[in-house]
Amino acid sequence: MAHIYMQFDFGKDEEKAQVARHKLETWKQAFRLDKKLLYKLARTEDGAAAAEPAADKPEKSKVKGKAKAKEEPAPAAAMENVKLLIRLAFSNHEKLSEQRWVERIPGEEPFHAAKPEVVKAGEAKFAEVEKKFDELVG
């Protein structure tokens, strides 16, 4: 069974990454793709911005109100670059279904703006992407 990997770089937009994750979960349940569609989120922090939230937290905890509570997660999410890796693992006799998902996923709303990249077996970056996917906890 050959795997196909898709990479999506959401940058610092955690909200779009979560919308994409939710859409993948919906598809997995609706189309029974439990083992055929796997995904993992990779977050990389910016080194300089990591020290700033520690100083800001005491100030934000003193402020009361619903508006401030909603703004609190935004600085933490803004420090991380979010990448979504998807692995499609269809059997050899499911080539048509595989091709449809390869075309569908990058074309949908939260995915098409996230710099989609499809990596198939035999391509130069395949081993690197496969290793990265296996290393992610997810």
- What size, in residues, is the chain? 138
- % of residues, the chain, pLDDT over 70: 75
d(CA 59, CA 105): 41
Q: Which residues contact 17 (CB under 8 A, 6 or more apart)?
A: 10, 41, 82, 84, 110, 114
Specify the residue for token string 């003193």: 62
- Whole-number pLDDT of residue 71: 46
Q: What's the domain count of the chain?
A: 1
Q: Residue 133 corresponds to which tokens in the numbers above?
A: 């996917």
- Whole-number pLDDT of residue 54: 35
Residue 11's domain spans which residues? 4-135
C-alpha closest to that of 19 among 125, 100, 113, 118? 113
Instruction: Average the pLDDT over 44-57 and give the result.
Output: 46
User: Which residue stretches of 12-125 are H helix?
Assistant: 14-30, 52-62, 66-71, 73-78, 95-107, 109-112
Q: Residue 8 corresponds to which tokens in the numbers above?
A: 């999506």
pLDDT in tens, 68-95: 444 445 555 457 899 999 999 999 999 9
Instruction: Average the pLDDT over 42-67 and give the result.
Output: 50
Q: Which of 45-49, 63-67, 95-99, 113-117 has the lowest mean pLDDT?
A: 63-67
- Whole-number pLDDT of residue 76: 53
What is the dihedral sign for C-alpha 81, 78, 37, 138? positive
Higher pLDDT pick, 127 / 53: 127
- Whole-number pLDDT of residue 137: 80
- Whole-number pLDDT of residue 78: 57
